[in-house]
Amino acid sequence: MKLLGMILAPIVALAIPITEYTLHARDTGQLQSGNTPVLSQQPAYSGDVTKCQGYYVTDTTPSSSGGLLIYLTLKDKCSAYGEDISYLTVSVEYETQERLHVHLYDNDIHQYQVPQYVLPRPEGGQSSKDSSDLQFDYNSDPFEFWITRKTDSAILFDTRAAQIPTYEASIQIEGNYSNYTVLPSHPLIFEDQYLQLSSALPKDANIYGLGEVIAQTGYRRNSTGTVQTFWARDVGDPVDENMYGVHPMYMEVRWDAKRNKLISHGVFLLNSNGMDVILRDGVIQYRAIGGTFDFYVFSGSAPNDVAAQYAQAVGYPQVMPEWSFGFHLCRWGYTSVNDTRTTVQRMRAAGIPLEVQWNDIDWMRAYREFQYDQNYAPAEYKAFVDELHSMNQHYIPIIDAAIGYLMNDTDVFDVYSRGHELDVWMKNPDGTEYVGAVWPGFTVFPDWFNPKMQQVWTEAFQNFSQVVDFDGIWLDMNEPSSFVDGSATNSSIPIEDTSVVPPNFTPQAPPVDFPEGYWPNISGYSGNVTVNGTLTYGQNGTAPKNTALRRSYSVEIEEAKRWSTPDSDSSDAPDLPSYVLQIQYVDEPPYPIRNQAGRLSAKTVSPNATHYGGLQEYNVHNLWGTMEELHMHNTLLNLKPGQRPFMVARSTFAGIGRKTAHWLGDNYSSFAYMKRSIQGVLQFNLFGIPMVGPDTCGFNGNSDEELCNRWMQLSAFFPFYRNHNTKLAISQEPYVWDSVREASIKAINARYTLLPYWQTLFAKASEGGTPVILPLFHEFQNQNYLDIDSQFLIGPSILVTPVLQPNESTVTGIFPSENGVFWVDWWTHAKLDNSNGNENVTLDLPLGNIGVHVRSGSVLLTYDQPEYTVKETRDGGYGMVVVLDGKGYAEGDAKVDDGSSYPVTELTCLTFVATDNCLTTTTSGNYQIENTLKSVTVIGVWDKPTKVTLNGQEVDASQVEYDASVGRVKVTGLEGDLNGGWELKWE
One-letter amino acid of 244: Y
Q: Which of 93, 276, 476, 839 is catalytic?
A: 476
Q: Name every residue whose Cβ is closer than 8 Å to that of residue 108 and which is 6 or more positions away in sequence.
A: 87, 579
One-letter amino acid of 340: T
- Alpha helix ranges (H) inside 754-860: 755-768
Widest pairwise Cα distance in the chain:
91
Would you call 666 a catalytic residue per the annotation? yes
- Count CB-CB contacts under 10 A for residue 162: 9
Cα separation values, 23 from 17, 30, 719, Å: 11, 10, 40
> Which candidate, 104, 283, 302, 304, places its Cα nearest to that of 191?
104
Query: Exposed, middle or buried by CB within 10 Å (0-12, 13-18, 19+), for 365?
Result: middle
Would you call 476 a catalytic residue per the annotation? yes
- Cα–Cα distance, 327 to 338 (Å, whole number): 21
Task: Report DSSP state, residue 245.
Answer: -
One-letter amino acid of 853: H
User: How would you list the strands of the sheet with 403-404, edge to edge?
Assistant: 403-404, 441-444, 436-438
b/e burial code for range 634-655 (CB count within 10 A of at least 16 → b): bbbbbbbeeebbbbbbbbbbbb
Q: Name every residue whose Cβ is closer than 8 Å to that of residue 106 and which is 6 or more positions away in sequence.
A: 85, 87, 88, 89, 190, 292
Backbone angles phi, psi at 771, to 5 degrees: -60, 155
- Cα–Cα distance, 136 to 141 (Å, whole number): 16
> Which candidate, 49, 57, 325, places its Cα nearest to that of 198?
49
- Count CB-CB contacts under 10 A for residue 755: 21
Query: Exposed, middle or buried by CB within 10 Å (0-12, 13-18, 19+), for 693?
Result: buried
- Contact criterion met (CB below 8 Å) for 717 and 800: yes
Chain Cα centroid distance, residue 190: 31
Facing residues of 148 across strands? 135, 155
Between helices 453-465 and 624-639, what is the axis angle to 10°? 50
The total number of residues written for the chain in this structure:
987
Q: Which of 479, 706, 789, 864 is catalytic?
A: 479
Would you call 479 a catalytic residue per the annotation? yes
Query: Exposed, middle or buried by CB within 10 Å (0-12, 13-18, 19+), for 430?
Result: exposed
- Contact criterion met (CB below 8 Å) for 785 and 919: no
- Contact criterion met (CB below 8 Å) for 262 and 818: no
Instruction: Using alpha carbons only, give the angle 114, 39, 232 rounded to the nearest 5 degrees.
Output: 35
What is the three-class DSSP state of 226? strand
- Contact criterion met (CB below 8 Å) for 296 and 119: no
Q: Which of 241, 666, 695, 839 is catalytic?
A: 666
Chain Cα centroid distance, residue 254: 24
- Contact criterion met (CB below 8 Å) for 286 and 277: yes
Chain Cα centroid distance, residue 459: 29
Cα dihedral sign, 402-408-413-417: positive
Facing residues of 696 across strands? 723
> Which candidate, 116, 118, 115, 108, places its Cα nearest to that of 84?
108
- Contact criterion met (CB below 8 Å) for 893 and 911: yes
- Contact criterion met (CB below 8 Å) for 91 and 67: yes
Q: Which H or E run contains 229?
A: strand 226-230
Query: Exposed, middle or buried by CB within 10 Å (0-12, 13-18, 19+), for 835?
Result: exposed
Catalytic residue list:
476, 479, 666
